Each structure stands twice: as C-alpha cells, then as structure tokens.
Amino acid sequence: MEIGKVVLRTRNKQTLAAFYQEIIGLKVITNEANQITLGIDGRVLVEMIEIKHGNTPKQAKTGLYHTAFLLPNRAELGSFLHHLLESNYPIDGAGDHIYSEALYFRDPDGNGIEVYADRPMSEWQRDEFGNLPMATNEVDGDGILMAGAELEWSGAPYDTKIGHIHLQVRDLEATRKFYQIALGLNLTTEIPSALFFAAGDYHHHIGTNIWAGRDLPSLGELETGLAFYTIQTEEEVNVIAERFAKSGITFQEASDYSILVEDPSGIVIKMISNSKS
C-alpha cells in the first residue's frame, strides 16, 4: 500500500495552490470552481477544496500533523534545499532520522510539510525485534547541499510521491487497534506519545501522535485542514470490507473500488483498491 493523495480544505485555493506549485514544485492538474488538484504527470498528490466561509481552527484538533513528500534520493533533496533557501521561505526545522533526512515547514494555511529522502534500506538500523529506532539527530545541511550542487531545481522530480502522512490523534491505544487490526499494518516504531505504522518493511506510511494533547476534538466541516486522505492498496475491496466488518467498524463501500472509513479520531480515509477482480 501507499498514500495516494491528501485532500485539504482551504479558504483560498489559489493562494494555497501557488505554494504547492512554487515551493513544492507540483503542477496543476485540474482547476474547477471550488477545487484544484496538483501533482506530477497526471498523478494527483494534493487536492484543495475551497470553503468560502470557512474558518481556521482556534485550538488543536485531530487531523494533519504533516504531509511528507518523498524525493528519490539525497541529491534531489539537496537541490530542493538550494531552492528552498533561495526562495527565502521559512523553515521550521530539519531532522536526521537515521533512515531518512528531512526538512520541515508549513504551507500558508499552517498545514505541516515534510520533504525528505530515504537512506538506502541496507543502512537502516533496527533492533533485535526488527523495529526502527525513534531518533531526530542534527542534519548535515552542508552535506545535503553538496549532494545536490550539480542538480538544477526545476520542480518536483517525476518520481516524487507522498511517502507518508503524519496525523494528530486523540487516543493512541484506539489508534493502535485500528491501524494494526483493521488496516492490517505493522507497528514499526513506538514511543509513549507516538506510533508509526507501515505496510511491509518500510519505516512508516502513517505516523500518529498525541503531542498536541489527548482527546482532541475533530475538525468541523467548515474548518480548514485535512478533509481526508487516500490509501492505494492491492487488497480487494471485499477483503477490506470483511476485515472492517469483523472489527465492528462502520464503513461505506463505493462503486469505484473504494471504501470510506473513519479512524477512531474521526479522520476520514478513502481506501482505493488497485485490484479490479
């Protein structure tokens, strides 16, 4: 499985779309009355829905912590960092997570953004149980810049994708049960305030945390932020539906080989099956 796209509610789709074009380097794919999609070569990575009378949440709520755009290698990350510095766009921070190197900032609506590159999987450090450590070390910014010194940034590389999504949730134990049992993901890293899940042996496709507090309320329909995100999976729809039914989870099955479901924090997920059988 992998994350397909992130759908955001915004008060001004043009302003937000301009950021994802100019800073992230995505291209506009569709532009309609109240909706814009952006991505690469027809692959939609971000969708914006404009709500004219929307409002910004006045307190922390469940939803998006950050969208993480995965670049194909360190050289491309270096090229992007050159571009980011030249643009004078404010950076919140950076982190060396041992398995990846990452840059952090926010879009104009305050939605968290991570742009990162993975190290080769052969270099990932795992404990005796195969789990990955949770670490945020100082990034070698000069090394990253040197790696991308000969690449001229001309937008997001063709194989850029959403490597993972990180969510603010209200209860870690309920989150664990949902993503492990109902979605069938592996728990790859656990600390007292955060859980990280993945399909296969990736470091994580979905991160979850309670850093903003426990028992957070859900976003309202007229509040800006995450509307929903999609998961692309090779599982057949009937297999997913059967697992949800056994877990007592309410869901909606659509005619486009997809299922809509809410996690325990009220975050909406659209699961899209690539299997048409």
**pLDDT tens-digit series, residues 146-180:** 999 999 999 999 999 999 999 999 999 999 999 99
> What pLDDT, on a 0 to 100 scale, did the predictor assign at position 92?
96
Structure-token match 């915004």, residue found: 10
Q: For residue 276, count other CB atoms closer than 10 A to its CB.
A: 7
C-alpha span between 85 and 83 (Å, rounded): 6
Contact 8, 224 (CB under 8 A): yes
Delimit the domains of the chain by residue range. Answer: 2-273
Q: How do 63-71 and 161-168 pair as beta strands?
A: antiparallel
Helix (H) or strand (E) holding 259: strand 258-262
Whole-Å CA distances, 117 to 33, 75, 95, 100, 230: 35, 9, 11, 6, 21
**Is residue 222 a contact partner of residue 57, using CB atoms and an 8 Å limit?**
no
Query: CA 148, CA 17: separation in Å to the nearest integer?
Result: 26
Between 8 and 127, where is the model more confident? 8
Task: Please identify which residue in the block is written with the tokens 């041992």.
Answer: 98
Query: Lowest-confidence range among 114-123, 198-207, 267-276?
Result: 267-276
Q: Output the pLDDT for position 276.
A: 64
CATH architecture of 2-273: Roll (3.10)
- Residue 275: predicted pLDDT: 79
Q: What's the rounded mean pLDDT across residues 143-148?
A: 97
